[in-house]
Amino acid sequence: MSRKLPLGEGETARTACARGSLRAGVVEKTGEVLPTAALTQRVGWAADLVNGMATELLATHWNDADVDRLASGVDAGGQSLPSNAWMALRRLGWAAAPAAGIRVNDRIVRMAQEQAGRTLRSVKWRTDLTAGVIKTWPAEPGRRTPGEWDAVREAVPDGRHLPPSVINSRTRQVVAYVKRHGRRPADVFELEAAPHGARMLLLSACDGQQASIARGDDTGRALLRLQLPVRPDPRSYQDWAWVACPITLPPTIPPGAVLHLPTLRVHQGRVRADLAYTHAVPTARRSGHAVALGVDWGLNTLLSAGAVRLHDNGKISALGAGSMFRAAGVLAKQHRLRRESEHLHAKTGHYERLMAGDAQHPLTGRQHVLAEEIRYVSGRRSNLNDALAWAAARWAVDQAITAGASVIYVEDLRSMEARGMSRTLNTRLSQQVRGKVVERMRHLAAETGIAVVAVPARGTSRHCPRCLVPLRHRKAPDRPTAPGWKWAICPNPDCGWQGDRDTGAWQRIAARGLTHQTKTVVDRTDGSMVIRSVVDELETKAVVTPTTTKTSRRDRSKTGPTRPRSTRPAPRRRRAPSPTGPSGPAGKRPEGHASTGRRWLPRAAHRHQGVTTISTPTTGHRPRGAALGAGFHLHAHATPPRWAHSMPDATSCMGSLN
């Protein structure tokens, strides 16, 4: 199979990953069929061998000098290091070997070196960040002055665009170390212990002598061939055998995509395969957009989004009223799990204080039970966050596709942090899934060539989207008893705009993105698109023009001829008398508001509601007959039927009200 992907005009190659599983395998030499349990056992033996060598390699080179040497990108001779981590480690002479008496091939060693090399390369950023924080240690770690903020941003690489929450979290980590040891750490290697290797197989570091993958006649299936040990401690090459594993490809992998060797993990008694593939997608543009989707974040309403259009004359107009992604039920469950996790952590901390490091304490068993419960609750929270992030991202991308937008402008909240509340409440407000939603949004939008750009969040909910005048926030008119200030009114008499503050926010975000689209840059750290700052000259043009002209109520002059009326209008009600009650399951409609489908009301209606029943009002006004009702008309206030109060028929000859 060709490894080169053909690309057309306006297309680019995109590498993504899908999740699959290995359910069975066949030993090619003997024809033995390996069920799921046997295959999982053999993959676990190979992962343990790789994990042991990677952990030993990390512990050996977990120091500042070796990490700087690897991050420099050149070897001792001044030549550039290869991009593959295992090749870079071999160029530096950092070898790995299995335990005595264990025989593995060179590709197994490659996977261990690749895993360790990736980890050591990623720690360089944390090294520079920790060094900058320690070098510019503030007088009050919990509250930096503006001068101290400038100093720490100058000491940290690319610190001007770094979120303050990252610096604060690293500061809190150093403060915890100071409380335990009475001094500040020298570097991140003293602050953090050497990590352990992951129990997985990075087959991407191998070649055809260890593993290969190819599609068969069916485009929805692939065959993975790899060498696995037949025992946990292979003593010779005879203890390794080729195993063929069929894989059912997920439907998200296109038929023409190029498959790469996956990463295998053992999870809950099964072998999970992270299938990497490359396929062609439309190229996302940084500028040149005419229709954009603005996305605003909310606390109860997770997302508010709407589309705007940039016309040739430079004016911006909104396309519709927008929509909202509400996840109140999911967020309520998330908060319940968070409270439960906080309670379990507090109880575990109390047990630790009572035990005082005594391993034989009677509370040791209870502490282990609480630790298992904490892991279980944490797993549920993680799964719930992932599901919510995928659902919100899919909704936002679908909104952009429906509106025909070529870009999604998202409010950049990296520079904003929850402040002004207690420490616990600030932490709760910061524990949101916004980062995951944006990451998934970029992943899904890349499939259709839609760019996702982060714009500054300054003043998006404060100023009017039509005249940029500061808004006045108050309670919503349709929900006067609801807490909060969701409704925004523009005090400018020439504008008079009012609406939900989230609606004005997404209009401001989309308009700001369209006017600043030439200022879009690509972040070097993760390749994302972002607008760094707001230009005042361009900001004055980021206003949304109303699509309809405002008519004056004072001018009541006619604009056309009067519509002709019939000389004999239709009567409001028929003149023929109607029966006084239902005579059977079929027949004429009875007079009044009685049901035509049944001869008696359900028991719930007899027991809980009458003909004038509505829900119990929350205001001081209490209409006649207000009580807790049942049925579809729970919130309807019905007028009394005609048979309850005899009224003269004085409107039978009147004209129609329609």
Is residue 479 one of the residues assigned to a domain?
Answer: yes
Query: 267 lies in which domain range?
Result: 11-137+184-281
Question: Distances from the Cα of 300 to the Cαs of 181, 332, 474, in angstroms?
Answer: 42, 10, 17
Comparing 50-64, 260-274, 332-346, 634-648, the range with the smallest average pLDDT is 634-648
pLDDT, position 108: 94
pLDDT, position 552: 54
Together in a domain, 442 and 495: yes
pLDDT, position 118: 94
Cα torsion angle, 89, 94, 98, 103, sign: positive
Is residue 572 one of the residues assigned to a domain?
Answer: no
pLDDT, position 295: 93
pLDDT surpassing 60 at residue 564: yes
Q: What average pLDDT does this structure show over 183-191?
A: 91
Which of 545, 571, 586 is where one domain is finished?
A: 545
Portion of the chain with pLDDT greater than 70, in percent: 80
pLDDT surpassing 60 at residue 625: no
CA dihedral 181, 187, 190, 191 (to 10 degrees): 70
pLDDT, position 651: 40
Q: What average pLDDT does this structure show over 550-572?
A: 64
Which of 255, 281, 307 is where one domain is finished?
A: 281
pLDDT surpassing 70 at residue 103: yes
Q: Using pLDDT thresholds of 50, 70 and 90, give the confidence band for residue 359.
A: confident
Together in a domain, 233 and 296: no
Q: In total, how many domains does the chain have?
A: 3
Together in a domain, 271 and 313: no
Q: Using pLDDT thresholds of 50, 70 and 90, give the confidence band for residue 632.
A: very low
Q: Could you give phi then psi for residue 546, rounded to 5 degrees?
A: -65, 140
Together in a domain, 266 and 369: no
pLDDT, position 644: 44
CB 184 within 8 A of CB 134: yes
Residue partners of 184: CB distance under 8 A and separation at least 6: 134, 137, 174, 177, 178
Whose structure tokens read 């070796």? Answer: 66
pLDDT, position 408: 96
Is residue 469 one of the residues assigned to a domain?
Answer: yes
pLDDT, position 331: 79
pLDDT surpassing 50 at residue 137: yes
pLDDT, position 151: 92
Is residue 149 one of the residues assigned to a domain?
Answer: no
pLDDT surpassing 70 at residue 3: no
Which of 489-493, 561-565, 583-587 has the largest mean confidence?
A: 489-493
pLDDT surpassing 80 at residue 178: yes
Is residue 153 one of the residues assigned to a domain?
Answer: no
pLDDT, position 5: 78
pLDDT, position 599: 55
Together in a domain, 264 and 351: no
Is residue 166 one of the residues assigned to a domain?
Answer: no
Q: What average pLDDT does this structure show over 12-39?
A: 92
Is residue 564 one of the residues assigned to a domain?
Answer: no
Which of 496, 527, 545 is where one domain is finished?
A: 545
Residue partners of 362: CB distance under 8 A and separation at least 6: none
Whose structure tokens read 């002479």? Answer: 93
Together in a domain, 248 and 302: no
Together in a domain, 406 and 458: yes
pLDDT, position 479: 75
pLDDT surpassing 80 at residue 32: yes
Tell me the residue type at 328. A
CB 282 within 8 A of CB 10: yes
pLDDT, position 418: 52
Q: What is the mean pLDDT of the chain?
A: 82
Q: What average pLDDT does this structure show over 188-208?
A: 91
pLDDT tens, position by position, 397-419: 999 999 999 999 998 876 555 55
Together in a domain, 352 and 449: yes
Together in a domain, 391 and 316: yes
| Top-confidence residue, 480 or 556 | 480
pLDDT, position 579: 52
Where are the strands (E) in 553-632, listed by range? none
pLDDT, position 551: 55
Q: Could you give phi then psi for residue 297, rounded to 5 degrees?
A: -90, 150
pLDDT surpassing 60 at residue 615: no
pLDDT surpassing 60 at residue 636: no
Which of 122-126, 483-487, 525-529 has the largest mean confidence?
A: 122-126
Q: Using pLDDT thresholds of 50, 70 and 90, give the confidence band for residue 142.
A: confident
Together in a domain, 130 and 276: yes
pLDDT surpassing 70 at residue 431: no
Element (H, E) at 341: helix 328-355
Together in a domain, 20 and 90: yes
pLDDT surpassing 60 at residue 391: yes
Together in a domain, 273 and 386: no
Residue of 170, 168, 138 whose CA lies nearest to 151: 138
Is residue 175 one of the residues assigned to a domain?
Answer: no
pLDDT surpassing 90 at residue 432: no
Q: What average pLDDT does this structure show over 165-177?
A: 89
Runs of H (alpha helix) within 446-520 = 501-515
pLDDT, position 45: 95
pLDDT surpassing 70 at residue 213: yes
pLDDT, position 403: 93
pLDDT, position 335: 84
Whose structure tokens read 């009012």? Answer: 498
